[in-house]
């Protein structure tokens, strides 16, 4: 440690703030404006940073600038280090009643649909001066830690991560159709006979359809849509069948005339886990936000269970 501190003493730490601005903005002009430097001063700082780190950091690609691999690796740790340093200098303990930070939670659109409103309400009540940013994506990855400074990702268990994860709530695949579909048909018969509405251009093939193909179950795709959350609405209004998430289907079931059945074959569950930014070192804030997320998920955990049997559409 003494050796590391000795080496650190030879580094101009004043360069770290402009470095973060440059890596965030990918532009000398924008970075200079962000922290109140002139453009020549920022260009000079970039030259010094390149020399200090033995890396180009920013390279031109087409009309813009992109980060080098070294710069992309530095960005999340640098952002978190400077954030923690700012809080250390301010020396104010974390108090949700007065804290004014931006809280970023990354998740899929489906996860945001079932837990986003509860999370928003709780944060508005418990931390009225904070700003919640819901970063939604169809394919969440740990890149949001660097690209969006996410505090936590709500990650489906089917997505891999090198970081520890903790279950937030459970979900699974179900068959969703309208009440106009044959009433006595089983889930398998619905999948075989009713035209499917599927997600178009998915980043990867959905596991239920891999299973249907492996078992040589015949089915017909009638419609492809780009918005996963539009599928239940479309089916309720125009008919069809789809494989969807139970928690989403349950939320839509109360709004539309939808029928849900269990997926007819064994399949991996779709639990949603909390994965924390590895550079988020402020334990009081992290522990508090974890408690808020767990509280927001209580209704989802309480309603998880077998698909309820129903004799007809809601009144």
Write out the CATH class of domain 173-262: alpha beta
Q: Can you give the pTM of this predicted structure?
A: 0.72
**Two tokens at 5?**
């501190």
Rounded to whole angstroms, the maximal C-alpha distance in the chain is 77
Separation between Cα atoms, residue 241 and residue 289, nearest integer Å: 38
Where in the chain is CATH 3.40.190.10?
102-170+270-302, 173-262
- Residue range 103-157, pLDDT digits in tens: 999 998 889 999 999 999 999 999 999 999 999 877 777 777 767 778 999 998 8
Q: List the beta bridge partners of residue 242.
A: 176
Q: Where are the beta strands (DSSP E) in the chain?
A: 58-61, 64-67, 102-107, 131-136, 152-156, 166-169, 173-178, 196-199, 221-225, 241-245, 258-262, 272-276
Give the fold, CATH level 3, of 2-90: Arc Repressor Mutant, subunit A (1.10.10)
Where in the chain is CATH 1.10.10.10?
2-90
- Residue range 201-237, pLDDT digits in tens: 655 678 999 999 999 999 999 999 988 889 998 999 8
More confident position, 93 or 194: 194
- Residue range 164-173, pLDDT digits in tens: 899 999 999 9
- Residue range 4-35, pLDDT digits in tens: 555 655 667 778 888 888 888 888 889 888 88
Closest Cα to residue 263, out of 197, 308, 307, 203? 307
Give the fold, CATH level 3, of 102-170+270-302: D-Maltodextrin-Binding Protein; domain 2 (3.40.190)
């Amino acid at each position: 440690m003494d050796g590391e501190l000795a080496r650190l003493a030879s580094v101009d730490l004043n360069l770290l703030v402009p470095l973060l601005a440059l890596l965030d903005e990918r532009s000398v002009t924008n970075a200079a404006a962000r922290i109140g430097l002139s453009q020549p001063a920022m260009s000079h700082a970039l030259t010094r940073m390149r020399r200090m780190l033995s890396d180009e950091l920013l390279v031109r690609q087409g009309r813009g600038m992109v980060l080098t691999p070294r710069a992309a690796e530095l960005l999340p740790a640098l952002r978190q280090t400077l954030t923690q340093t700012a809080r250390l200098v301010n020396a104010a303990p974390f108090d949700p009643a007065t804290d004014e930070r931006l809280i970023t939670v990354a998740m899929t659109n489906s996860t945001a649909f079932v837990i986003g409103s509860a999370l928003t309400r709780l944060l508005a009540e418990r931390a009225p001066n904070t700003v919640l940013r819901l970063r939604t994506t169809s394919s969440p990855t740990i890149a949001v830690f660097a690209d969006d400074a996410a505090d936590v990702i709500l990650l489906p268990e089917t997505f891999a991560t090198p970081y520890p994860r903790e279950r937030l709530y459970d979900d699974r695949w179900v068959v969703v159709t309208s009440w106009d579909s044959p009433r006595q048909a089983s889930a398998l018969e619905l999948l075989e006979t009713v035209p499917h509405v599927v997600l178009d251009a998915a980043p990867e093939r959905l596991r239920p359809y891999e299973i249907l193909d492996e078992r040589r179950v015949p089915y017909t795709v009638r419609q492809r849509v780009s918005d996963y959350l539009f599928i239940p609405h479309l089916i309720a209004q125009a008919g069809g069948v789809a494989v969807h998430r139970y928690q989403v289907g349950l939320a839509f079931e109360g709004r539309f005339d939808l029928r849900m059945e269990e997926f007819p074959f064994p399949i991996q569950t779709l639990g949603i886990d909390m994965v924390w930014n590895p550079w988020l070192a402020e334990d009081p804030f992290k522990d508090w936000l974890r408690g808020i997320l767990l509280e927001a998920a209580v209704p989802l955990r309480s309603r998880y269970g077998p698909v309820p049997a129903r004799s007809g559409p809601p009144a």
